[in-house]
Amino acid sequence: MQKIFRQYSFGNEIKSINPFGHGHINKTYLVVTGHGERFILQRINHDVFKKPKEVMRNIELVTKHIRNQVKNEGKDPSRAALEIIPTINKKTYAIVDDYYWRCYRYVFGARTYEIIEKPELFYEVGKAVGVFQKQLNEFPIGKLHITIPDFHNTPVRFKNFVEATYIDPDNVGLNTFNEVKFVFDRKNIMNVITDMLDKNEIPERVTHNDTKLNNIMIDENTNKAICVIDLDTVMPGSVLYDFGDAIRVGASTAVEDEPDLSRVQLDVSLFELFSRGFLEETHRLLNQKEIDHLVEGARLITLECGMRFLTDYFKGNTYFSISYPKHNLVRARAQFKLVEEIEKNYSKLQNIIKNIINDLE
Ligand code: GN1
Ligand code: MG
């Protein structure tokens, strides 16, 4: 750690360093200095993000853009986006022993949630995801690097899944017949969103691609959302996946890795609250096809995420960090249960979207 701290101006005032957060990919630490300053220090997982410099360039551009937007609206930009702390050499990252590290200013008086504790919070989360989309609507999309190719390309994720079922070095597949069948039964819907993108029926937008609940910062005093964090996967993509990923985590009655499937349900009223917040911000921006496929976005990203967990389980758990051997299988099962829940409520959810749009127009 000393080698990292030598590259930061606060480096010789460190009081404590502790692991922080619940991310599955990067390593995150909370750093506190003797002056009571706090920083979030992260080691970028370069097996996942092969070009960390490009990740940091994207984040630099996007956070600058958001701050300028907010400034132009006459509002305080200080908490509107993550703030990268530069190194002494004015770089957005520090390289130590082939690892890339980066540092953000810690946001005081804010927190994230693993599960929605008060329903009205999810309306605020919807607003935040919508505002993020709005703020980046004019961003020159060509400037963004593709930090992970085919990240939300569901047909490619399906193909990788099918290949992984053959690999299965530890023979873990024996007990997963039902899960594998669950995915295959849905092979015809994998390409619904990518086809619309290919045909230009829906636009490529600047999207976040990881809008799960714990990536939204909430003010502890006002309960208002502050900003969206974890910008590593900001790339061109479909807004349907951003909408969907937020629903996948926030509208579920259980955590992502709940082993007791009877507890994993879709809370339709939470879906409605999020959708209202989100659409209040974005309904003028989205085209009809996008509005008609928001629910499909929730189903597909949940299915995709389940496939990714199961793929990793078959391949020996090399991608997502796990706390016990079957963790990825448990995660996958919870996702598939949620897919069923979305399917069961599909027409109800579609009506909710329709009604919100009617109210707003
Ligand atoms: C990963 O890093 P983290 O935990 O915010 C993953 C997402 C998954 C999510 C599932 C770069 O996000 O795509 O949806 O886990 N990020 C990457 O919890 O793969
Ligand atoms: Mg995260």
pLDDT in tens, 51-63: 999 999 999 999 9
Q: Is residue 212 lining ligand 1, measured as CB closer than 6 Å?
A: yes
* pLDDT, tens digit (0-9, with 9 covering 90-100), for 190-201: 999 999 999 999
Q: Is residue 61 lining ligand 1, measured as CB closer than 6 Å?
A: no
The CA distance from 318 to 190, in Å, is 24
Whole-number pLDDT of residue 169: 75
Atom of ligand 1 at shortest range from CA of 256: 18
172 pLDDT tier (thresholds 50, 70, 90): confident
- Looking at residue 291, its amino acid is I
Q: Which residues surround ligand 2, an ion (CB under 5 A)?
A: 23, 215, 230
1 pLDDT tier (thresholds 50, 70, 90): confident
316 pLDDT tier (thresholds 50, 70, 90): very high
332 pLDDT tier (thresholds 50, 70, 90): very high
171 pLDDT tier (thresholds 50, 70, 90): confident
Q: Is residue 257 lining ligand 1, measured as CB closer than 6 Å?
A: no
Helix crossing, 294-314 with 177-184: angle to 10°?
140
User: In testing the pocket of ligand 1, which one of 20, 22, 25, 256 has its CB within 8 Å of the most ligand atoms?
Assistant: 25
Q: Is residue 259 lining ligand 1, measured as CB closer than 6 Å?
A: no
Claim: this prediction has a pTM higher than 0.75: yes
The CA distance from 156 to 120, in Å, is 36
Identify the H or E element spanning 69.
Answer: helix 52-72
Q: Is residue 242 lining ligand 1, measured as CB closer than 6 Å?
A: no
Q: Phi, psi (5° rounding) for residue 27?
A: -100, 130
The CA distance from 289 to 144, in Å, is 25
Residue of the CA atom closest to atom 15 of ligand 1: 24
The CA distance from 328 to 324, in Å, is 9
Q: Is the distance from CB of 248 to CB of 335 less than 8 angstroms?
A: yes
Per-residue pLDDT at 173 exceeds 80:
no
User: What is the 3 state secondary structure string of 2-30?
Assistant: HHHHCCCCCHHHEEEEEECCCCCCCEEEE
Residue of the CA atom closest to atom 1 of ligand 1: 24
Per-residue pLDDT at 167 exceeds 90:
no
User: What is the arithmetic mean of pLDDT over 350-359?
Assistant: 98
Whole-number pLDDT of residue 3: 93
Q: Give Cα 76 distance to the centre of its chain.
A: 25
User: What is the arithmetic mean of pLDDT over 152-178?
Assistant: 90
**In a 10 Å sphere around its CB, with 0-12 CB exposed, 13-18 middle and 19+ buried, how is residue 249 labelled?**
buried
Fold of 119-360: Aminoglycoside 3'-phosphotransferase; Chain: A, domain 2 (3.90.1200)
User: What is the arithmetic mean of pLDDT over 301-319?
Assistant: 97
Domain ranges of the chain: 2-108, 119-360
User: In testing the pocket of ligand 1, which one of 20, 22, 24 has its CB within 8 Å of the most ligand atoms?
Assistant: 24
User: What is the arithmetic mean of pLDDT over 20-29?
Assistant: 94
Q: Is the distance from CB of 30 to CB of 106 less than 8 angstroms?
A: yes
User: What is the arithmetic mean of pLDDT over 282-303?
Assistant: 98
Q: Is residue 207 lining ligand 1, measured as CB closer than 6 Å?
A: no
Q: Phi, psi (5° rounding) for residue 134?
A: -65, -45
* pLDDT, tens digit (0-9, with 9 covering 90-100), for 73-116: 999 998 999 999 999 999 999 999 999 999 999 999 999 999 99
The CA distance from 235 to 63, in Å, is 13
What is the per-residue burial (b if ≥16 Cβ within 10 Å, else e) of 268-303? eebbbbbbbbbbbbbbeebeeebbbbbbbbbbbbbb
User: What is the arithmetic mean of pLDDT over 301-320?
Assistant: 97
Q: Is the distance from CB of 298 to CB of 278 less than 8 angstroms?
A: no
The CA distance from 217 to 230, in Å, is 10
**Bridge partner list, 84:** 104
> How far separated are the first and last CA of the chain, in Å rounded?
55
DSSP 188-203: GGTTHHHHHHHTTSS-
> Which two structure tokens, joined as six digits, stand for 285?
């921006």
Atom of ligand 1 at shortest range from CA of 215: 5
Per-residue pLDDT at 205 exceeds 80:
yes
* pLDDT, tens digit (0-9, with 9 covering 90-100), for 30-48: 999 999 999 999 999 999 9
Per-residue pLDDT at 235 exceeds 80:
yes
* Nearby residues of 183 by Cβ (< 8 Å), 6 or more positions away: 158, 161, 303, 306, 307, 310, 336
Q: Which of 121-125, 163-167, 236-240 is the least confident region?
A: 163-167
50 pLDDT tier (thresholds 50, 70, 90): very high
User: Is it true that domain 2-108 has CATH number 3.40.920.10?
Assistant: no
Q: Looking up tokens 């992502």, which residue turns up?
A: 256
The CA distance from 32 to 13, in Å, is 9
SS3 44: coil
Whole-number pLDDT of residue 353: 98
User: What is the arithmetic mean of pLDDT over 205-217?
Assistant: 97
